[in-house]
Amino acid sequence: MADLTAEVVICGAGIAGIAAAYHLAVTHGMTDVVLVERGAPLSMTSDKSTECYRNWWPGPDDAMVGLMNRSIDLLEQIARRTDNLIGMNRRGYLFATADPTRVPALHRSSKEAERLGAGPLRVHDGRSGGPTYVPGRADGFEGQPDGADLITDPELIREHFPYLSPRTVAVLHPRRCGWFSAQQLGMSMLEEARRRGVRLTRGEVTAIDTASGRVRSVTVATDGGARTISTPRFVNAAGPLLKAVGEILGVELPVVCERHLKLSFNDHLEVVPRGAPLLIWSDDVVLRWSETEREALAASDENRWLLGRLPPGVHCRPEGHGDSRTLLVLWTYDMQPVDPVFPLPITDHFAELVLRGMAVMIPGLAHYLDRIPRPYVDGGYYTKTRENRPLIGPLPIEGGYVVGALSGYGVMAACAAGELLAAHIMGAPLPRYAPAFTLSRYADPSYQKLLENWGDSGQL
């Protein structure tokens, strides 16, 4: 027998579930929202992120740029309203390459991003009369350039980024990008939502009654026993457990999980300046080894791959204020789908490997290879669809919804994703990008065709 009722039950108090609850309660004034969370809010994936944001996304259409521009608008509104409680900066992302043959591709992708709405491209190639490069500011987000700067002028690269490999031939600096505190964002949205009546319940969603094809009630296992909440709507915001919770609802969700690890350590030599942007190496990586190491790796079936070409995308950024010298370093050289297990398994030698990778872009980091100062490794799962676009909207069971598959961009997308999901639930007008994120997109044969030739998925 049902002992509770709700207008909506949301499963998962990660950043996605919290943002959905916030928009239902605060934007639309819904009074009876229950947020069910098996652990502590934000503690599964949302507090493991690098907390970065960007409006720099590939096509084929402008849906991702549209979603992110909207989310960044909302983040900026929150930052303005709260005297920047969320510590938002706009230092940009800096993609660097040592491969001259990649420069035309960088130019092409920048023109594409410009066409999709990410802002204008400025090229700095050393010729006189070109635009002036405006460096990013360490703090704050107002009054900064939009779009991107593509720099191929070697002097300009050395002047602004002297710590990059001297082999660097081009850097691309998209500007509506940076980072902020996802924890502050999540907690402030949760607090506001609770003030507006959202109830947070500790427990695990274990069953959903969907008699005659519509949501009727949700069963939650709590310390005090099973509780049934009578409700016409259920939102799956279960992060890496999206697929499992989809199965409870009887809806197959086309998502996989990838494990992503992150190293933080004390860059006490300040190899990376504290005001640096997010630094990303765009080329494949070949790690440097001593002759003895090389021989040992070559002789090992398990480790020989470390001598080959490894994927691009190793990246880092400074973390913290004041005396902090913390540097975060990430690199997903292994993108095999895995079953999410907790606690997250940590790969042996990850810290050394990721630092070796990062030292290809920033050679000064090799100083730390003998002994990494105060290393700490954590991470979580990216939950992804095949084309790396999220799932936001209704499910084929009446009253069933999903907000998830937020991959490596969930904290930056959360505000717009929660807003979009709430608009679906409330029957409010939907933005132009809404159809690009519904589950029903896969039922469209022309979308299936598009998927066969989907290019860059924009993963970092």
Ligand X SMILES: Cc1cc2nc3c(=O)[nH]c(=O)nc-3n(C[C@H](O)[C@H](O)[C@H](O)COP(=O)(O)OP(=O)(O)OC[C@H]3O[C@@H](n4cnc5c(N)ncnc54)[C@H](O)[C@@H]3O)c2cc1C
Q: Is 74 in the site for ligand X (CB under 6 A)?
A: no
| Torsions phi, psi for 437 (to 5 deg) | -120, 5
Dihedral-angle region of residue 71 (phi above 0 means left; psi in -120 to 50 means alpha; beta otherwise):
alpha
Identify which range of 33-41, 137-145, 222-230, 442-450 contacts ligand X by CB under 6 A.
33-41
For ligand X, the closer CB: 92 or 152:
92
Q: Is 328 in the site for ligand X (CB under 6 A)?
A: no
Q: Is 251 in the site for ligand X (CB under 6 A)?
A: no
For ligand X, the closer CB: 136 or 379:
379
Identify which range of 99-107, 115-123, 237-245, 359-367 contacts ligand X by CB under 6 A.
237-245
First to last CA, the chain: 47
Query: Which has the closest alpha carbon to 112: 147, 143, 145?
Result: 147
Q: Is 15 in the site for ligand X (CB under 6 A)?
A: yes
Query: Which has the closest alpha carbon to 251: 233, 231, 230, 236?
Result: 236
DSSP assignment of 257-302 equals EEEEEEEEEE-TT-SS-TT--EEEE-S-B-----HHHHHHHHT-TT
Q: Is 171 in the site for ligand X (CB under 6 A)?
A: no
Residues in the chain: 460
Contact between 413 and 52 (Cβ < 8 Å): no
For 106-248, strand residue ranges (E) read: 121-124, 148-151, 170-174, 177-179, 199-202, 204-209, 217-222, 225-230, 234-236
For ligand X, the closer CB: 170 or 331:
331
For ligand X, the closer CB: 170 or 421:
421
CA distance 151 to 164: 13
Identify which range of 58-66, 73-81, 120-128, 232-240 contacts ligand X by CB under 6 A.
232-240
The answer, yes or no, to whether the previous bond of 431 is cis (omega within 30 of 0) is no
Identify which range of 22-30, 55-63, 224-232, 402-410 contacts ligand X by CB under 6 A.
402-410
Identify which range of 148-156, 306-314, 349-357, 400-408 contacts ligand X by CB under 6 A.
400-408
The least CB distance from residue 91 to ligand X, in Å, is 13
Q: Is 168 in the site for ligand X (CB under 6 A)?
A: no
Q: Is 408 in the site for ligand X (CB under 6 A)?
A: yes
The least CB distance from residue 12 to ligand X, in Å, is 3
Helix (H, G, I), strand (E, B) or coil at 406: coil
The least CB distance from residue 201 to ligand X, in Å, is 9
Binding mask 187-206 toward ligand X (x if CB under 6 A, else -) reads -----------------xx-
| Residue of 44, 157, 316, 351 interacting with ligand X (CB under 6 A) | 44
CA distance 32 to 231: 10
The least CB distance from residue 125 to ligand X, in Å, is 30
Q: Is 245 in the site for ligand X (CB under 6 A)?
A: yes
Q: Is 409 in the site for ligand X (CB under 6 A)?
A: yes
Q: Is 246 in the site for ligand X (CB under 6 A)?
A: no
| Residue of 46, 69, 84, 183 interacting with ligand X (CB under 6 A) | 46
The answer, yes or no, to whether the previous bond of 60 is cis (omega within 30 of 0) is yes
What residues have CB less than 8 Å from 250, skipping those under 6 apart? 208, 210, 397
Contact between 240 and 226 (Cβ < 8 Å): no
For ligand X, the closer CB: 49 or 168:
49
Q: Is 260 in the site for ligand X (CB under 6 A)?
A: yes
Identify which range of 101-109, 333-341, 359-367, 374-382 contacts ligand X by CB under 6 A.
374-382
Total residues at the site for ligand X (CB under 6 A)?
40
Question: What tokens appear for 202 in the block?
Answer: 């500790």
CA distance 25 to 32: 8
Q: Is 58 in the site for ligand X (CB under 6 A)?
A: no
| Torsions phi, psi for 9 (to 5 deg) | -110, 125
For ligand X, the closer CB: 122 or 262:
262
| Residue of 240, 277, 313, 400 interacting with ligand X (CB under 6 A) | 240
CA distance 209 to 233: 11
The least CB distance from residue 46 to ligand X, in Å, is 3
Q: Catalog residues that contact ligand X under the rule CB under 6 A.
A: 11-17, 36-39, 44-46, 48-52, 204-205, 237-241, 245, 260, 262, 379-380, 382, 404, 406-412
